[in-house]
């Protein structure tokens, strides 16, 4: 007599990953809506989630408004024009504040006051993003995990660490379960850049931060490394080599060609080679959209075009510690 048994097959987990949104309102809304659109279980947003610039909008005595964008003064006389401007700034990831001429002059003369306003507006946008995620994902069972990056000020990042959420989770510094079987650890710091961003460290210090996280992982074969800095010389980190002596830094040109190099982290690569996680999620280098295999680990950088309101991402399907497939997306 023959006996037959059907092996229980687990349902694969579908994850959508995007990174480097830099405060872009339109791109973030697309990110949250991607959960339903792509029918995924998990949303993960990598680092650099805050914007880079504060644009003052000056209300003139005649009731009109003006603002300086990319070195050009633009004037606005109607509410519709003002709304169009603020929507455009939101897509670019910029913050804005409407003020009169006196307020503008006082603020321009006080760097601490500028930083205070910037941080307030950045925290407010992140807080609104948490609220939007909670509203859109309520009752769906989908989870959204978010970490900071090197461009994100620690004071601003406090806005994503909330105790009252059911769908949105600030996950940096924690080991989290993305499903019943798979865990994720997140590190948002990067190695040094020419831009002197808020959360840069030496590669040696980045190694220490990674080691603090990996000890929390119960099973590396079912682990995700959500590390903002990509592994060095992996095709996920290819970008122009810059002359740091110039202000602003400029690409180095040799024989009429731009010199390209791998700007990622040696410590990140070493950690992947050593611990062999299932999946590596990375960003930081916007122009280096790529997928690479480092040993058994599938490493992904979906790239970023946030300023155009374009959401670049990657769908990843996995089960039992194995990546079954991935697909880059753009829209």
- Contact call for residues 102 and 95 (beta carbons, < 8 A): no
- The rounded distance, in Å, linking the Cα atoms of 85 and 87 is 5
CA distances from 257 to 141, 288, 289 (A): 50, 18, 21
Q: Is the pLDDT of residue 95 over 70?
A: yes
Q: Is residue 99 part of a domain?
A: no
Closest CA to 160 of 183, 133, 182: 133
Query: What percent of the chain has pLDDT above 70?
Result: 98
Please report which confidence band the pLDDT of residue 1 belongs to, taking 50, 70 and 90 as the band edges.
very low
Q: Is the pLDDT of residue 317 over 90?
A: yes
Q: What share of the chain is helix, strand, coil (3-state, %, to 5)?
A: 30, 30, 40
Please report which confidence band the pLDDT of residue 3 belongs to, taking 50, 70 and 90 as the band edges.
very low
CA distances from 160 to 31, 34, 155 (A): 16, 20, 11
- The rounded distance, in Å, linking the Cα atoms of 331 and 312 is 7
With a CB cutoff of 8 Å and minimum separation 6, the contacts of 184 are 44, 145, 171, 175, 176, 177, 178, 223, 224, 225, 226
Q: Is residue 275 part of a domain?
A: yes
pLDDT of residue 4: 45
Q: Is residue 298 part of a domain?
A: yes
State which residues form the domain around 159: 14-51+132-330
Count the alpha carbons within 13 Å of 130 in the hemisphere toward its beta carbon: 21
Query: Which residue do the tokens 């080691």 mark?
Result: 211
Query: Which residue do the tokens 């992947």 mark?
Result: 272
Long-range Cβ contact pairs of 168-174 (< 8 A, separation 24 or more): 168/130, 168/133, 168/134, 168/137, 168/144, 169/143, 169/144, 169/145, 170/146, 171/145, 171/146, 171/147, 171/226, 172/147, 172/148, 173/213
Q: Is residue 116 part of a domain?
A: no
Q: Is the pLDDT of residue 8 over 60?
A: no
pTM as predicted: 0.94
pLDDT of residue 5: 43
pLDDT of residue 10: 87
- Contact call for residues 159 and 205 (beta carbons, < 8 A): no
Q: What is the CATH number of the domain that holds 219?
A: 3.60.21.10
Total domain count, the chain: 1
Across-strand partners of 76? 65
> What mean pLDDT is predicted for residues 177-194?
97
Across-strand partners of 59? 65, 100
Q: Is residue 218 part of a domain?
A: yes
Q: Is residue 91 part of a domain?
A: no
pLDDT of residue 2: 43
Provide the mean pLDDT of the chain.
95
Please report which confidence band the pLDDT of residue 239 belongs to, taking 50, 70 and 90 as the band edges.
very high
- The rounded distance, in Å, linking the Cα atoms of 40 and 15 is 6
- The rounded distance, in Å, linking the Cα atoms of 22 and 168 is 18
Please report which confidence band the pLDDT of residue 70 belongs to, taking 50, 70 and 90 as the band edges.
confident
Q: Is residue 43 part of a domain?
A: yes
Q: For 252-289, how does the pLDDT look when each residue is reduced to its tens digit (9 = 90+)?
A: 999 999 999 999 999 999 999 999 999 999 999 999 99
Q: Is residue 61 part of a domain?
A: no
pLDDT of residue 26: 97
- The rounded distance, in Å, linking the Cα atoms of 275 and 95 is 40
Q: For 102-121, how does the pLDDT look when each residue is reduced to its tens digit (9 = 90+)?
A: 999 999 999 999 999 999 99
């Amino acid at each position: 007599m023959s006996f037959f048994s059907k092996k229980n097959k687990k349902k694969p987990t579908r994850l959508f990953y995007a990174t480097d949104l830099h405060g872009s309102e339109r791109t973030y809304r697309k990110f949250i809506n991607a959960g339903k659109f792509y029918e995924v279980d998990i949303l993960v947003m990598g680092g650099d989630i805050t914007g880079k610039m504060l644009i003052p909008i000056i209300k003139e005595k005649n009731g009109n408004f003006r603002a300086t964008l990319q070195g050009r003064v633009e004037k606005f006389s109607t509410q519709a024009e003002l709304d169009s401007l603020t929507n455009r700034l939101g897509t670019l990831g910029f913050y804005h504040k409407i003020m009169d001429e006196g307020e503008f002059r006082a603020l321009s003369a006080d760097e601490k006051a500028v930083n205070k306003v910037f941080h307030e507006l950045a925290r407010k946008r992140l807080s609104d993003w948490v609220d939007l995620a909670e509203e859109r994902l309520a009752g769906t069972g989908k989870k959204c995990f978010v970490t900071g990056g090197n461009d994100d000020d620690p004071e601003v990042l406090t806005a994503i660490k909330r105790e009252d959420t059911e769908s949105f989770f600030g996950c940096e510094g924690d080991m989290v379960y993305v499903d019943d079987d798979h865990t994720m650890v997140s590190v948002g710091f990067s190695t040094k850049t020419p831009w002197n961003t808020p959360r840069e460290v030496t590669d040696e210090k980045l190694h220490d931060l990674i080691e603090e996280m990996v000890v929390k992982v119960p099973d590396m074969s079912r682990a995700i490394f959500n590390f903002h800095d990509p592994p060095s010389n992996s095709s996920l980190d290819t970008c122009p080599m810059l002359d740091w002596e110039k202000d602003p830094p400029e690409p180095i040109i040799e024989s009429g060609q731009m010199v390209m190099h791998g700007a990622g982290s040696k410590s990140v690569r070493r950690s992947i080679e050593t611990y062999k996680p299932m999946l590596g999620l990375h960003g930081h280098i916007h122009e280096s959209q790529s997928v690479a295999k480092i040993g058994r680990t599938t490493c992904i950088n979906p790239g970023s075009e946030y300023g155009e309101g374009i959401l670049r991402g990657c769908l990843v399907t996995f089960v039992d510690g194995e990546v079954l497939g991935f697909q880059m997306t753009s829209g």
